[in-house]
Amino acid sequence: MWANLSLLSDLQLFPVAASAQAGSIDGLYWWLTIVSGVMTFLIFLFIVIFAWKYQRKPGVKATQIEGSTKLELTWSILPFFVMLSFFWWGAKIYYAAQNPPKNAMEVFVTGKQWMWKIQYPDGSREINALHVPVGQPVKLTMASEDVIHSFSIPAFRVRHDVVPGHYDTIWFTATKAGHYHLFCTEYCGNEHANMIGWVDAMEPREYANWASGGGGGGDLVTQGQQLFQQNGCSTCHLLDSQGRCPNLRGLYNHPVQLADGRTVLADDAYIRESILDPNAKITAGFEPNIMPVFKGQLSEENVIQLIAYIKSLSPTTPASQQGERLQRPVVLAPQGKNGAIKTGASPIVPAQR
């Protein structure tokens, strides 16, 4: 292994910053590093000076000092104020990270032992690979089929755990075209280290090129519509009238009055729960236990498709989230690709459980 001395040549000390938020996180990182460096230096310096100056000499006694309240207060309050700057800066970044811009392009991610499945609004799918255009905010909505995973792109400085039963989101705007690592950073079993992939940030033109062709089975909304038929949703949820079931038109992004008096917002997570476990929250005015439980019938990916369809029924859905319609950059040159899976970074065979 020592033969490999070229190791040192590709020694890298600082990661590339390829997203809009990477800059501010790096800024905070350097601020922390400067403060830490200064503090460490000062402490070391004092220790060395004292150790040098006051080393034990015969006949010289130590001077006994009680302490000093003033000093103590100074060196607890001042550092605390410095730390508040870390807190404040960090909080700002974090707050921004939790609030994706409204015009973000939506991509859906499903984590599963041990692969990442990516779905685009146009219905195409990839495994362990994510393609995004540079300069366009991208919001990832992530679900897990089994255990907790964590979706991380170091070059973008984004990361979020993907918890089963939750929808977790992150967003970023790529700023530099390139080929970046995608890691799972929450331990999830044997092949945790192989739950990796690549993120390709592409110039918008190239991206459009790549994206053209779409999924073979139509966009997410179409796929969702098909599922809506296949799973018999349409037998109850008539789209024009309201019988025993709520009308799903206009549901998305609106408050829903529940039978137990609470009000919730019909966001992705709510719709997901309403499909998989309809009785968890009963809509006011309807009977529980009519709608079948779809947990175990539908995969997280299917749910994402259904949600896309239900969203498309609502005029208040932000334009960017309405499937392929507005979001696709202009198609420049058809590529003739139409497999459901576009690329697979590493050919990983999902282990059977």
Partner 1 sequence: MAETLVPAGQEELEAQETHLRHHFATPEQQTDAATLGMWTFLITEVLFFGGMFTAYAIYRTMYPGAFASTSEFMDVRLGGANTAVLICSSLTMALAVRAAQLSRRKDLIRFLILTMIFGTVFLVIKGIEYHAKWVEYKVPGFRFTYEPSYYFHHAQILFSLYFYMTGMHAIHMVVGLGLLTYLVIQAWRGIFHARYFAPVEMIGLYWHFVDIVWIFLFPLLYLIGHKR
Partner 2 sequence: MATIAPIHGTPELSERRVNYLNVEHGWKSWLFTTDHKRIAILYLISITLMFFVGGLMAVLFRINLLEPEGIFAPETYNRLFSAHGIIMVFFFLVPSIPATLANFLIPIMVGAKDLAFPRVNLLSWYIYVVGALLTLYAVIRGGVDTGWTFYAPYSSTYSNSYVLAAAFGVFTAGFSSILTGLNFIVTVHKMRAPGMTWSRLPLFVWSNYATGLIQVLGTPVLAITLLLLAFERIAHVGIFDPNIGGDPILFQHLFWFYSHPAVYIMILPGMGVISEIVSCFSHKRVFGYNFVAFSSMAIAVLSFVVWGHHMFITGESMYTSLAFSFLSFMVAVPSAIKVFNWTATMYKGSISFDTPMLYAFGFIGLFTIGGLTGLYLAALGTDVATHGTYFIVAHFHYVMVGGMVMAFVGGLHFWWPKMTGRMYPEAWAKFAALIIFLGFNLTFFPQFILGYLGMPRRYHAYPPEFQALNVLSSAGASILGVGYVIPMIYFLWSLKYGKRAGMNPYDARGLEWTIPSPPTTFNFDTTPVVTQEAYDYGELEEVVG
Partner 3 sequence: MSAHEVAIPKVKTLVLVWAALICFTALTTWVASFEFGEWNIVIALLIAVTKASLVVWIFMGVRHVTTLTRLFVVAGLVWLFIMILLTASDYKTRNWTYQAQPWANNPAHGLSR
Provide the binding-site residues for ligand HEA, judged by CB under 6 A: 35, 39, 43, 79, 82-83
Contact 323, 101 (CB under 8 A): no
Q: What's the one-letter identity of residue 98?
A: Q
Distance, CA of 263 to CA of 279 (rounded, Å): 15
Q: How far is the CB of 345 from partner 2 (least distance, A)?
A: 12
Q: Which is nearer to ligand HEC, 123 or 246 (CB)?
A: 246
**Does residue 147 touch partner 3 according to CB under 8 A?**
no
Give the list of residues 6+ apart from residue 353 with CB closer than 8 angstroms, or none.
Answer: 113, 146
Residue window 186-205: x/- pattern of binding to ligand CUA, with contact defined by CB under 6 A: xxx---x--x----------
Residue window 272-301: x/- pattern of binding to partner 3, with contact defined by CB under 8 A: ------------------------------
**Does residue 346 touch partner 3 according to CB under 8 A?**
no
Binding to partner 1 (CB under 8 A) within 262-291 occurs at 277-280, 282, 288-289
Distance, CA of 26 to CA of 31 (rounded, Å): 8
Residue window 98-117: x/- pattern of binding to ligand CUA, with contact defined by CB under 6 A: -------------x--x---
**Does residue 33 touch partner 3 according to CB under 8 A?**
no
Cα–Cα nearest to 181, from 7, 342, 25, 345:
345
Phi, psi of 199 (to 5 degrees): -115, 130
Reduce the DSSP state of residue 136 to 3 states and report it: coil
Residue nearest to ligand HEA (CB): 79
Residue window 146-185: x/- pattern of binding to ligand CUA, with contact defined by CB under 6 A: ---x----------------------------------x-
Ordered DSSP codes for 293-327 = P-BTTB-HHHHHHHHHHHHHT-TTS-GGGSTHHHH
Tokens of residue 124, six digits:
């195409």
Tokens of residue 278, six digits:
């309809």
Q: Which residues bind partner 3 (CB under 8 A)?
A: 98-99, 247, 249-251, 254-257, 261, 263-265, 267, 269
Give the binding site for partner 1 (CB under 8 A).
259-260, 277-280, 282, 288-289, 293
